[in-house]
Structure 1
């Protein structure tokens, strides 16, 4: 079930040969980990914790998840900037972290992430059926991510084997910057040949996904149950007490709405209600 966040309607005009045409959703831009694969966005957390452990630093799950969705170099920089981590780094190395440390850690992170991704690239239930149904409506499917292209390739290959094939995918290293910059989404739109941005919907599970979508002028749907803000894999989710599930979903929804999400849903398969409302609002007189 989706939640409406009461946002303002984006610019709603498009003309072709001087004739105003009814607007409809033309493309949906999807995140990867926590949205289409890797229920709970487990792989990035595991890789980051392993990375920092190799340098004598025990990284909490909360600190690993805080800035999830950023390009991993930027994510590592943000982690090093946290007061607790900064102090631990200084205790281990005798100095506070510098930019060279960010680059060094990022280079170490790649192989770790590649190894761990293979264990956490399973498609989230309902993704294949949902995306195929959307494509049958004529909606194009784009994708953006915090992974570089080399990190995404094994994830995308595994997803294809399981039946999920977006029509376009763009990584931050291909456009010069990661989220919250809108360039990945804009490049997706160009590759898919869709415009204006108000006919596109960005769906993702992190606060930074929402900000990325808003910066691109697109509608945004934030996901709770399968994503980073709830932060558990499918088996763990099923074992949680109902009261804990409700509390986690409520907290995740609150964070996504605060970030500016137009709608919130539990998972990708639950987005149809929100998408129907977006099309209705696009043509609201």
Structure 2
């Protein structure tokens, strides 16, 4: 019988392999609310539902108690589906136009991917971005050296996106991975970690490169250890209820996790 080892790693995109701090989607959400309704949301509010598909994300922002109260005060009613549609249709062209500007790879991405490929591990990916946005991001990332074996966008599947398992499982099918217990989901958002759990995979939450810490790459590189610890704690608090199997700072720390998962698989463990 062949020893079970990790067969595939499925990465999220923004905040995981590109766009340190996940600023491309969050700043555009703020702009879309402002342009369509002259209504202000904060960057922190825009970050709360990160990982969901973008229409669902706008809906979730509108349901935040503070946002809902301000909306009610301003318009005398709750946000409705028509409002969400209008904001989404403002958001989409802005996101398509801007996403390639946020395609710089997170430090360590190329080295980690090369190390995974050297172990015959397939490289999957999925995103809360719809396909029209991914079509802009993919060539920009490829120009920087990142080309995964599989890409699934949030609107590719009729079954839907996160926190359901569907995009992760489509990666399993496309990559030909024989056992979900030999697959790893790496993400910087709570819905992305839940996606991995629902798909039966090992899950790895990223604390410092993504949405929950909200640091720019420069802030990360120049931060003191105390500042990094504070950012880690903020992210851990956000992730505490989704119980990721592993929590690491950035993708650069992933090789040690893969080694540990391989040892656990040999011992007969499953996620």
TM-score, normalised to structure 2, is 0.94
Q: Name the CA distance, whole Å, in 2 between partners of 1:271 and 1:255.
A: 20
Tell me which moved more, 209-218 or 126-135: 126-135
Structure 2's unaligned 5+ residue stretches are: none
Aligned-residue offset at 1:34: 0.2
Q: Name the CA distance, whole Å, in 1 between partners of 2:169 and 2:198.
A: 10
1:221 is matched with which residue? 204
1:185 is matched with which residue? 168
1:13 is matched with which residue? none
1:22 aligns with 2:8: no
1:43 is matched with which residue? 24
Residues 257 and 264 in structure 1, CA contact (< 8 A), matched pair in contact too: no
Residues 112 and 254 in structure 2, CA contact (< 8 A), matched pair in contact too: no
Offset from partner CA, 1:218-243 (integer Å, 9 cap, x none): 00011111111110111122333431
Q: How many residues align?
A: 266
Offset from partner CA, 1:43-71 (integer Å, 9 cap, x none): 11100110111212211122111110000
Tell me which moved more, 134-143 or 85-94: 85-94
Please give the secondary structure, in 2, of the residue aligned with 1:23: coil
Alignment CA distance shift 1:270-1:85 (3 Å) = same
Give the alignment partner of residue 118 of structure 1, picking from 82, 100, 103: 100
Residues 24 and 95 in structure 2, CA contact (< 8 A), matched pair in contact too: yes
Aligned-residue offset at 1:136: 1.9
1:151 aligns with 2:141: no
Q: Name the CA distance, whole Å, in 2 between partners of 1:241 and 1:28.
A: 31
Q: Name the CA distance, whole Å, in 2 between partners of 1:173 and 1:71.
A: 8
Residues 27 and 201 in structure 1, CA contact (< 8 A), matched pair in contact too: yes
Aligned-residue offset at 1:91: 3.5
RMSD of the TM alignment (CA)?
A: 1.4
Residues 39 and 227 in structure 1, CA contact (< 8 A), matched pair in contact too: yes
Aligned-residue offset at 1:257: 4.4
TM-score, normalised to structure 1, is 0.89
Structure 1's unaligned 5+ residue stretches are: 1-19
1:201 aligns with 2:184: yes
Aligned-residue offset at 1:260: 1.4
Alignment of 1:158-177 (within 5 A): 158-176=140-158, 177=160
Q: Name the CA distance, whole Å, in 2 between partners of 1:156 and 1:163.
A: 10
Alignment CA distance shift 1:79-1:135 (3 Å) = same
